[in-house]
């Protein structure tokens, strides 16, 4: 096959290719559903209605939307510079650990209006710290950030395990590996059902990210470095410093997401509290085509996909693993769609 770069594409063209990709992935999945003896259209309808139009389902979607979008926004910042932070999962865990430290051990009885913001700050710092390590290694030693962030995911999760099985274990918890519950002062107020006030934070952060990239020199430099590192260096930009900055910011977002999850819905640290949000957020960031508002929309839809698959498990007895097939297929079709946007594909003569 031969690839000819398209000179110019319109946003309308790009959006219609993306929508076609999504539709195609659903068509491909219909085959799987059909083989299981399910009516695909009925199945999609069930998922869609539950995730977006049923109050309980929609609450679940919104709750999942929060961490997915915030981690996704952080990853977007790194991906813009072609820095492959796949350590969202570890940074998210560190944020949750930081939040628990403040909420349970430092100031459990502080006034809620001081305590919750403090938890956010410490969570973000903890996540940022987890981003600093690979950032330093990448910037000053040239260490591959993919492997470094991957290792730190494991180290972070094991560190959490160590805490909840060891020193932080709730003495009244019947030997379950989890911490005590947070005090009322460390719980985010609820807006609707399960949905907490954290749900507005992704939208604010999306504007922040948009502002950074559109209106600041720092954001401009990141984009230039992402496009051409050598050119950026000749132009006098400090690539190393920017790599470090990017990794810190990226980690802070994920850390904040972990902290919000703790005070918003978990109220205690326990193993397996993340169904791999840090990894799904990579898909979210990518599907948004690195657009901050796109992240918010995609994260909402992805949250809906999680919740929709949960209802398939309950109503249609389909294994919950179908979520991952959905994610994987969607991802592959969108990736192919992107190629189609970039290139005209012709047969080699």
Which residues here bind another protein, judged by CB under 8 A?
1-3, 5, 32, 84, 86, 133, 137, 141-144, 146-148, 150-155, 158-159, 161-162, 165-166, 279, 282-283, 286, 318-329, 331-332, 335-336, 338-339
According to DSSP, residue 345 is labeled E
Least CB distance from residue 318 to another protein, whole Å?
A: 8
Tell me whether residue 127 or residue 198 sits nearer to another protein (CB atom).
127
CA 321 to chain centre: 19
Least CB distance from residue 117 to another protein, whole Å?
A: 31
Least CB distance from residue 319 to another protein, whole Å?
A: 4
How is residue 167 written in tokens?
């020193």
Tell me whether residue 117 or residue 319 sits nearer to another protein (CB atom).
319
| Other CB atoms within 10 Å distance of the CB of residue 23 | 11
Least CB distance from residue 194 to another protein, whole Å?
A: 26
Distance CA(163)–CA(23), nearest Å, equals 44
Distance CA(292)–CA(94), nearest Å, equals 23
Tell me whether residue 26 or residue 84 sits nearer to another protein (CB atom).
84
Tell me whether residue 24 or residue 332 sits nearer to another protein (CB atom).
332
Characterize the bridge pairing of strands 195-196 and 343-346: unpaired
Tell me whether residue 73 or residue 265 sits nearer to another protein (CB atom).
73
Tell me whether residue 133 or residue 245 sits nearer to another protein (CB atom).
133
Q: Angle 322-342/11-35 helices, nearest 10 degrees?
A: 150
Tell me whether residue 183 or residue 291 sits nearer to another protein (CB atom).
291
Least CB distance from residue 97 to another protein, whole Å?
A: 13
CB proximity list for 314: less than 8 A, separation 6 or greater: none
How is residue 197 written in tokens?
């006030």
Least CB distance from residue 314 to another protein, whole Å?
A: 15
Distance CA(112)–CA(183), nearest Å, equals 10
* SS3 assignment, position 272: coil
Tell me whether residue 190 or residue 314 sits nearer to another protein (CB atom).
314
Least CB distance from residue 20 to another protein, whole Å?
A: 16
DSSP per position, 165-218: HTTT--TTSTT-S-PPPPPGGGSPPEEETTEEGGGGHHHHHHHHHHHHHHH-HH
Least CB distance from residue 168 to another protein, whole Å?
A: 12
Least CB distance from residue 302 to another protein, whole Å?
A: 12
Are 92 and 75 contacting, i.e. CB atoms less than 8 angstroms apart?
no
Alpha helices in 228-321 (DSSP H): 229-234, 239-261, 277-287, 292-316
Tell me whether residue 42 or residue 228 sits nearer to another protein (CB atom).
228
According to DSSP, residue 103 is labeled I
How is residue 226 written in tokens?
């992402």
DSSP per position, 22-74: HHHHHHHHHHHHHHTT--HHHHHHHHHHHHHHSHHHHHHHHHHHHHHHHHHHH
């Amino acid at each position: 096959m031969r690839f000819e770069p398209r000179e110019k594409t319109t946003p309308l063209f790009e959006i219609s290719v993306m929508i076609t990709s999504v539709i195609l992935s659903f068509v491909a999945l219909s085959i799987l559903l059909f083989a299981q003896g399910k009516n695909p259209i009925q199945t999609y309808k069930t998922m869609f209605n539950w995730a977006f139009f049923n109050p309980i389902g929609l609450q679940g979607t919104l709750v999942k939307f929060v961490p997915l979008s915030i981690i996704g926004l952080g990853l977007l910042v790194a991906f813009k510079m072609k820095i492959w932070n796949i350590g969202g999962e570890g940074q998210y865990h560190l944020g949750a650990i930081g939040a628990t430290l403040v909420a349970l051990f430092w100031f459990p009885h502080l006034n809620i209006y001081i305590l919750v913001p403090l938890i956010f700050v410490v969570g973000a710092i903890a996540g940022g710290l987890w981003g600093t390590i690979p950032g330093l290694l990448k910037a000053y030693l040239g260490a591959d950030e993919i492997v470094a962030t991957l290792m730190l995911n494991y180290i972070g999760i094991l560190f959490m395990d160590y805490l909840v099985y060891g020193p932080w274990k709730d003495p009244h918890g019947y030997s379950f590996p989890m911490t005590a519950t947070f005090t009322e002062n460390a719980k985010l107020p609820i807006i609707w059902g399960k949905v907490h006030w954290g749900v507005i934070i992704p939208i604010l952060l999306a504007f922040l990210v948009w502002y950074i990239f559109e209106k600041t020199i720092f954001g401009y430099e990141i984009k230039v470095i992402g496009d051409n590192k050598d050119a950026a260096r000749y132009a006098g930009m400090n690539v190393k410093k920017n790599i470090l900055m990017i990794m810190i910011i990226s980690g802070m977002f994920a850390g904040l997401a972990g902290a919000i999850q703790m005070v918003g819905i978990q109220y205690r640290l326990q193993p397996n509290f993340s169904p791999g949000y840090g990894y799904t957020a990579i898909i979210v960031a990518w599907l948004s085509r690195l657009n901050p508002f796109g992240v918010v929309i995609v994260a909402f839809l992805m949250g809906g996909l999680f919740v929709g698959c949960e209802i398939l498990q309950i109503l249609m007895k389909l294994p919950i693993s179908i979520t991952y097939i959905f994610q994987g297929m969607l991802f592959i079709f969108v990736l192919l769609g992107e190629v189609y946007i970039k290139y005209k594909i012709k047969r080699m003569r």
